[in-house]
Amino acid sequence: MTAHSIRSIREGLLKKEFRAVEIAREALAHAERENPKTNAYLLFSSERALEAAERNFALNRDVPAVAACPRETAQADVFCWLREPAARRFDLIVLDPPALAKRASEREEAMRAYSRLLTGAMARLNGNGMLVAASCSAHVSAGDFFDLAREAARATGRGFEEWLATRHAPDHPVTFPEGGYLKCIYLRFR
């Protein structure tokens, strides 16, 4: 992705709250305009999630970049996959795992798991690559999650820019602390 396409995506983000799927779709559209060989690699732990991703591709087939995008799917445990030597690098990685801390007692292990996910994903990003990292764990605060992502980014030794850190959209009111479980951070690496 070029700096121009990245600026265009960022401008869109600042105007509207995007979910991870929407930013991936937008980034894919921009990347496709600049590199027709853009493709998607979808890694999920469940067959059901892979099927849902294929349905989402079908629902967005009216977007030329999505319709033309070659894609591969794989079913694997992401923690095992990240331990394997990185055979490929990517321009965009969206980390959106299920809740890793459903109970307060699971918080510390969830923080270690998020750290492994973030570090492994960052190692697979190309120069000028984008990481979109989300969490829906009620017992990991947005501040702690964002700090962990920033710390992992600094530890790579690569320059990075934080585009945006988001929480619940306005149409999802939060009336108790654990209700504020959605958070997402967008980091671009040089």
Q: Of 114, 115, 127, which is closest to residue 161 (Cα–Cα)? A: 127
CA dist list (Å): 104 to 107, 111, 136, 145, 186? 5, 12, 14, 15, 26
Active site residue 136: yes
18 sits in which H/E element: none
76 sits in which H/E element: none
Residue from 69, 80, 136, 184 carrying the catalytic annotation: 136
DSSP state of 181: -
Q: Hey, which bits of 58-100 come out as E strands?
A: 71-75, 90-95
Q: Of 38, 74, 69, 75, which is closest to residue 56 (Cα–Cα)? A: 69
Cβ atoms 29, 70 nearer than 8 A: no
Beta partners for 160? Answer: 189
The b-or-e profile of 15-49 (16+ CB within 10 A means b, else e) is: eebbbbeebbbbbbbbbbeeeeebebebbbbeeee
Cite the active site residues.
Answer: 136
